[in-house]
Structure 1
């Protein structure tokens, strides 16, 4: 009986680990992996500094504070790059991950700034 309960618990754990991520969670993970090291808030982030210089305070420089990042714009910039930002291939950020990132950044200003 103990081994059956152990197997059941292990099976449930594996099922939970294999469960698909929500689009928002996938977008958050893509942002953390590929974007945060350049685009988080603060003076230690080169992408944020570049956007601050470009927009001179007209819009927030940190991506998660923006409210005008349409998913189509995110897709275009990620796939083509801009200024010193490189482009990202589909082998780095899949189309599904990019769609989730665009949706995440589109709503990031409407959710927790600490997310």
Structure 2
């Protein structure tokens, strides 16, 4: 639950116009980053294709031609989300040709974090 609050605050700061560097630094906890890296390795998707004029950096809007993927997080028997990844399950993502995982806010298609 604590991770969800941190994500919500980070998204609020990003939406409010606070610098992208702050959002990049606070949006994903080390546990979430580990989860994302493992999830993408275990559930490979094709690398996204986009023009050379697009750079997937925090705050940029992902072109409509880029296919976004959803995290499928299984619920444990005790009712908690696996690994405490409640906040991650609301994000979409794509993988760049350079194998970076890019987290995207669903409604706005804005990049909120890049896992390098």
Structure number with bigger Rg: 1
Shared fold by TM > 0.5?
no
In the superposition, the TM-score normalised over structure 1's length comes to 0.31
